[in-house]
Each structure stands twice: as C-alpha cells, then as structure tokens.
Amino acid sequence: MTKLSVNINKIATLRNSRGGNNPNVLQMAHDCESFGADGITVHPRPDERHIRRDDVIELRSLVRVEFNIEGNPSNEFMNLVKSVRPEQVTMVPDAHDQITSNAGWNTKEHFDFLSNRVDALHASGIRSSIFVGTDLEMIEYAAKTGTDRVELYTEPYASAYAKNPDVAVAPFVEAAQLARRLGLGVNAGHDLNLDNLQYFCQHIPWLKEVSIGHALICDALYLGMKETIRRYKACLN
C-alpha cells in the first residue's frame, strides 16, 4: 500500500502571514495523524517563511507516524536533521529563495556531495531519499550514492495528465521500473491531486509513498481535512 505523507508547510505559511499561532501547526500535524495520514512532511527553508526550525524540533516529539523532512542538504540543514532524527530525509536541490521545488538533482554532477550526505544520514540512522526527475542516468547515479530511495518530481506528469494520461505517466513508469531494478524504494511528489493521483499509483503499484501539500490543503478548505485525507487515501488504495 502506498503511504500518504501530508506536507503541512502551507499551514505554517498561513500562520506566519498573521503572526501568533493560528492555525496551530502542531495541532494540525496531530489532527492529520488522527485522520489517517501515514506521515507528516515539512520542508524548512533558511528564511523560515513557512516551517521554522523550532517547528521541526517540536514536531519530532509529537509526530508518531513517519516524519519526513525535505530540503537542500546544506550544513545547517544537516545539523538540524541529525539532531531531530526523522525517519526520512528527502534531499531537494532548492535555492534559498526558491518559491517551490521545480527540478530534481543532477546526481551525476553532484555525486560526491550527495554520497557524502547519504553517508551522514545513514550514520545517524536516517533513511535517505533523493529528489529526481525521470532521466534514467540521474536515477542510476542516485543509486550509486547508496541512497535508500528516490522521490520522483511529478509536476511534468501533473501538467500533461489532462491532455494524455498515458503519455504523461509513461516516463515515470520507466523511471520507477529502473529504480526498482536498482534496489531503490520509489516515492513521488509535486502537484499530485485528487484528479491525477489514482491513475499515477495504478501504473506504479510498488510506489512507497506520496508527499502532498499544496493541493491537499486547498482541497481541505472546501472538504475539511478529515474528508480530504480520506479521499486521498482512497486514491492510493
């Protein structure tokens, strides 16, 4: 069964826009768990424009499901995750001022850097995942780093889905098949939603986990968080 990890960054964005602690990020993480989420994802950035360092530390003591921390593995980020020790760290090649993730790693060009980070995560008992596109060479080099998983960047799939689902999903199936042959677990995330998620998972039934934030939070404004999580999990099952 593919697990649903709820990215709660947008909850923190809303909180930060007004100051104070409403909505409460910790309470929302707890509620997502109680509504059936299999994991909680956060993506702290250096400017703390949404999830803050303190949030990450406090969430570690609260989250009982899988805790996944995404981010560019700078020295500061690595110090944070090694102190918090989530179940998984997903390494993403974001610039410090980037609005959202928009590409996977060039794992060939950054092979030594990523290998070093994978080793450091493993030394702390943390599962590693590398954010990649569907370029098969990039997946091959990701496997050589010793990482446990890759996360497929699915925005291209989401953008092309409405026009031709078969064409949209094909490169992701090929990439996931290669990753599986290389012994990697496969995660996925970015712009997956209630319209396109089920089709994606049906074509990659060995998918370990999807991490979904923006679309899920938007749906929750209309449906409520409990019903939204139920519908996303129904797509996965």
- Residue count of the chain, please give it: 237
CA proximity to 73, closest of 90, 57, 56: 90
Point out which residues pair with 132 in neighbouring strands.
152
Instruction: Mark whether 33 is an active-site residue.
Output: no
> Is 190 in the active site?
yes
Helices 165-181 and 136-144, interaxial angle, to 10°?
30
- What three-state secondary structure class fits 119? helix
CA atoms within 13 A on the CB side of 141: 20
Rounded distance between C-alpha atoms, residue 99 and residue 74, angstroms: 17
43, 50, 151, 209: the active-site residue: 43
Active-site residue, selected from the candidate residues 33, 70, 151, 209: 70
Catalytic residue among 33, 50, 151, 190: 190
Least Cα distance to 94 among 45, 159, 154 occurs for 45
* Annotated catalytic residue 96: no
* Residues whose CB falls within 8 Å of the CB of residue 105, separated by 6 or more in sequence, listed in order: 91, 92, 93, 114, 130, 131, 132, 138, 142
Catalytic residue ranges: 43, 70, 190
